[in-house]
Amino acid sequence: MPSRRAFRSHARRLLRRLVDLTMGFLFGLVYRKPGAIVNPIEDLLLLDTASTLALKIRTKKIKSVEVIEKYIARIKDINPLLNCVVDERFEEALAEARAVDKLIESGTKTEEELARETPFLGVPFTTKDSIQVKGLKFTAGLYVRRDTIGEEDAAAVTTLKRAGAIPLALTNVSELCMWWESHNTVHGRTNNPYDANRIVGGSSGGEGCLQAAAGSPMGIGSDIGGSIRMPCFFNGVFGHKPSRGLVSNAGEYPIASKDHDLFLGTGPMCRFASDLTPMLRVLCDKNAHRVPFDEKVDIKALKFYYMEDDGGSALVSAVHPEIKAVMHKVLTYLKKAHGIQPQRVNVTNMKRSAAIWFAKMNVKGEPDFCQELANRNGSINVYWELIKWALCLSKHTFIALATGISEKMGVQSGTPEHTRLLEVCDQMYTEFKDILGNNGIFLYPTHPTAAPYHNEPVFKPLNFSYTAIINVLGFPATHIPLGLNDKGLPIGIQAVGAMNCDHHCIAVACELERAFGGWVPPAISV
């Protein structure tokens, strides 16, 4: 019997490989010519970190208005190709910047007071169209919400504004933030700045794209299955999913249930690792004491563990050799630069990551996805909508309808299989908790392949499992860009830390940025 099961598993993996190769070939034919690359960065100011901009503004080296104007110009330059920004408040932002410059010129507060009380004073930021910003669209990519306008700021937006930052624009998402390509019937599809034929990820895909294209110095994303880390992976920037419950998710849509709120993480997205800590500290607000942000992290004192793939799930694409190679470059660097001997581990249930995530998402008594697609006003008839979609009459994307159907056909809450999967999740949490201890870092691929072509994810729907499993376990994780592959597309890995040891993940990100260069601009001419 074991040999028969092994044969079936091997056959399924071969079939998965065949599907991937076939789809790769067919999509390669469709997109025969390389996609356009975003216009080059031509202004050195766009290459400053958010923290550097804040320092320059409060020390009167530059004015906030100048910074805002530069980023407005950049957005207008890149958005026709990328379609990453879906709403803006440019005039309001300029007015707020003028007020900042006036405050600084008045000298009523010292530079030290400004740095302590408003660390991002005068610096613009952006966020996704599911995190509420007063006066901007608040659609979450759902057509029935196309005219919905934010009535108040989400908690994360409020904390950044309190730190002096200025909201500038809103970025695109997948429909209801439940897919890893940012496309919906409200705002359309977002294109990758390194190759417009490729996806930007989801659901914070517009944000990842805008960050990579230097259209914003910092942004906020949210992540329930990888929605910060996957866009950061596909766009070559840094992103952090915080520890469970560290950052408030209030004011976001879809509204997370009490259970979902435990593994939905709102966190920073940016081009430079040095911005992660100051951003996260602000976003944590009253929970900042849970993470010792001021503790100097000694990389040599951390214990490193790794897996180069999920152990061989038959339903998930194999990790590309280039991603495995960059993982081993990191391992070699840790050995040579710090005398660290990373330990390979084998968490066998990683192969069940997707099934575990779906089980955790299925919460009895909460609205199902078809109800969410109706904006919680009744429920859509997903089969009728699928017929309408085939006739180009539906206001929903195919993948949203497919998600509604798969939810109905999947493991249901309260069944023996559902219970078993929840038990496996608890076992994995204990296993990782024991592995990580208080100073462990788990290195793991963020995604098995670089950015696929548009629509290609439909044929590899479970590839998000590499990030999703970390959500349901609740541990913090940082995506770390590690250069470009042979097609000029970003690749990298994620660093997972122990609970409330977010500073460890970010310290590793900073270390690897120094070693490997971090974000690589899509195009530059300065």
Separation between Cα atoms, residue 433 and residue 409, nearest integer Å: 33
Separation between Cα atoms, residue 53 and residue 293, nearest integer Å: 21
How far does Cα 130 stand from its chain's mean position? Answer: 13
- Lookup: tokens for 508: 């590793």
Contact 228, 249 (CB under 8 A): no
Give the DSSP letter string of 90-155: HHHHHHHHHHHHHHHHHTSS-HHHHHHH-TTTT-EEEEETTB--TTSB--TT-GGGTT-B-SS--H
Separation between Cα atoms, residue 364 and residue 419, nearest integer Å: 12
Residue 227 bears catalytic tag: yes
Closest CA to 139 of 181, 180, 182, 96: 182
Cis (ω within 30 of 0) for the bond into 342?
A: no
Angle made by CA atoms 273, 323, 218, in degrees to the nearest 5? 25
- From residue 388, how far is each of 140, 369, 372, 432 by CA, in Å? 22, 18, 18, 45
Contact 195, 201 (CB under 8 A): no
- Lookup: tokens for 462: 């479970």
Q: Give, for 270, the enclosing helix (H) or strand (E).
A: strand 265-270
Residue 64 bears catalytic tag: no
DSSP code at position 411: P
Separation between Cα atoms, residue 7 and residue 433, nearest integer Å: 33
DSSP code at position 493: E
Separation between Cα atoms, residue 311 and residue 150, nearest integer Å: 44
Q: What letters, b where the CB count within 10 A reaches 16 and e where it falls short, cover 241-268?
A: bbbbbbbbbbbbbbebeeebbebbbbbb
Annotated catalytic residue, options 203, 353, 394, 465: 203
Annotated catalytic residue, options 51, 64, 174, 227: 227
Separation between Cα atoms, residue 110 and residue 355, nearest integer Å: 54
How far does Cα 341 stand from its chain's mean position? Answer: 29
Closest CA to 299 of 495, 49, 50, 52: 495
Residue 203 bears catalytic tag: yes
Strands across the sheet with 440-445, in order? 85-88, 166-171, 124-128, 219-223, 265-270, 238-241, 477-484, 490-497, 440-445, 303-306, 343-344
Annotated catalytic residue, options 56, 63, 128, 351: 128
Structure-token match 């602000």, residue found? 282
**Active site residues per annotation:** 128, 203, 227
